[in-house]
Amino acid sequence: MSLELQLLLLAWGTLVGLDLVSVPQAMIARPIVAGPIAGAILGDVGTGLQLGVLFELFQYDILPMGATRYPEYGPATVAAVSAAHAAAGTLGLGLGAFVGLVTGMAGGLSLHALRQLNTRAVRRAAAALEAGDPRVLERLHAASILRDAVRAAVVTTLGLVLAQAARVYLAGTLPPHGVALLTVAAVGAALAAGAAGTLRLVGRGPSLRWFAAGVVGGTVVVWLR
């Protein structure tokens, strides 16, 4: 993969990482968006869509409320698509899922570290903030956003390096049935996490009946196709 493509992926992963919490929360950080665009950068929208759908299911396991800690799947999906792109076919899905899940965990840890850095910066500026100095307030805010951009770039870089390593050292080492097992594990985990996360959101109230109706409707469409 050329350096230009890697830099484009890095830029996209940074934007995606910034969107998750800081600016503008337009949901380009959702895997269903991050994946296909990473795929388009690599000229492989199909792989991007597949991994976008896979990580979107993992995303249903998360409710991003307040101070909760959660994996960051945006840059993770970009890295996953990069890993899967070179490993064509079913291997791509398993390899991409592995790279994406590890990157997602690293992204989650980095968010916690960023929030601690922000807390320290706020404490340092407490006197000026209590005096109502608008310039200090704005500078503090801008610096935090810049810090998040650097964090997103670092996480994406880590993911892309991991993707490169996976392509070089793992692709080609598995026999065909091993490749199939890896795909089964990736898709199975995503579906299980997505279903459990959705059911947790739905709860035991009246929405449960709507969920059941949806599952039946979706199954009928699958059967008819």
Partner 1 sequence: MSRPPTSARPRLVRSLLRLFTVQGSWNYERMQGIGIGVAEEPLLRDLRGEGRDDGVAYRAAVARGAHFFNAHPYLCGLAVGAAARAEHEDVPPDQIERLRTALCGPLGSLGDRLVWAGWLPFTSGLALIAVALGLGWSATLAFVVVYNVGHVALRWWALRAGWTYGAQVAQALREPLLQRATALSGPAMALVVGAALPLVAQYLSSALFGWTRLALAAVVAGGFALVWWQRARLTGVRLGLVLLAVAALAGWLWP
Of the residues 49, 154, 161, 171, which one makes contact with partner 1 according to CB under 8 A: 49
Residue 206 neighbours by CB distance under 10 Å: 8
Closest among 43, 32, 37 to 11, alpha carbons compared: 37
Under the binding rule (CB under 8 A), the answer on residue 22 touching partner 1 is yes
Stretch that binds partner 1, among 2-10, 21-29, 78-86, 153-161 (CB under 8 A): 21-29
Residue 51 neighbours by CB distance under 10 Å: 35
Site for partner 1 in 94-153 (CB under 8 A): 94, 97-98, 101-102, 104-105, 115-116, 118-119, 121-123, 129-134, 137-138, 140-142, 144-145, 148
Output DSSP code: residue 139: H
Burial class (CB in 10 A: 0-12, 13-18, 19+), 138: exposed
SS3 43: coil
Task: Compute the least distance from the CB of residue 108 to partner 1, in Å.
Answer: 8
What token pair was written down for 190? Answer: 């995503």
What does the longest C-alpha to C-alpha distance in the chain come to?
67
Of the residues 1, 5, 11, 90, which one makes contact with partner 1 according to CB under 8 A: 90
Of the residues 9, 10, 37, 162, which one makes contact with partner 1 according to CB under 8 A: 37
SS3 10: helix
Of the residues 13, 71, 74, 159, which one makes contact with partner 1 according to CB under 8 A: 71
Task: Compute the least distance from the CB of residue 65 to partner 1, in Å.
Answer: 6
Stretch that binds partner 1, among 1-9, 24-32, 78-86, 150-158 (CB under 8 A): 24-32
Q: Which of 4, 225 has the CB closer to partner 1?
A: 225
Q: Which of 86, 101 has the CB closer to partner 1?
A: 101
- Rounded Cα gap, residues 121 and 50, in angstroms: 40
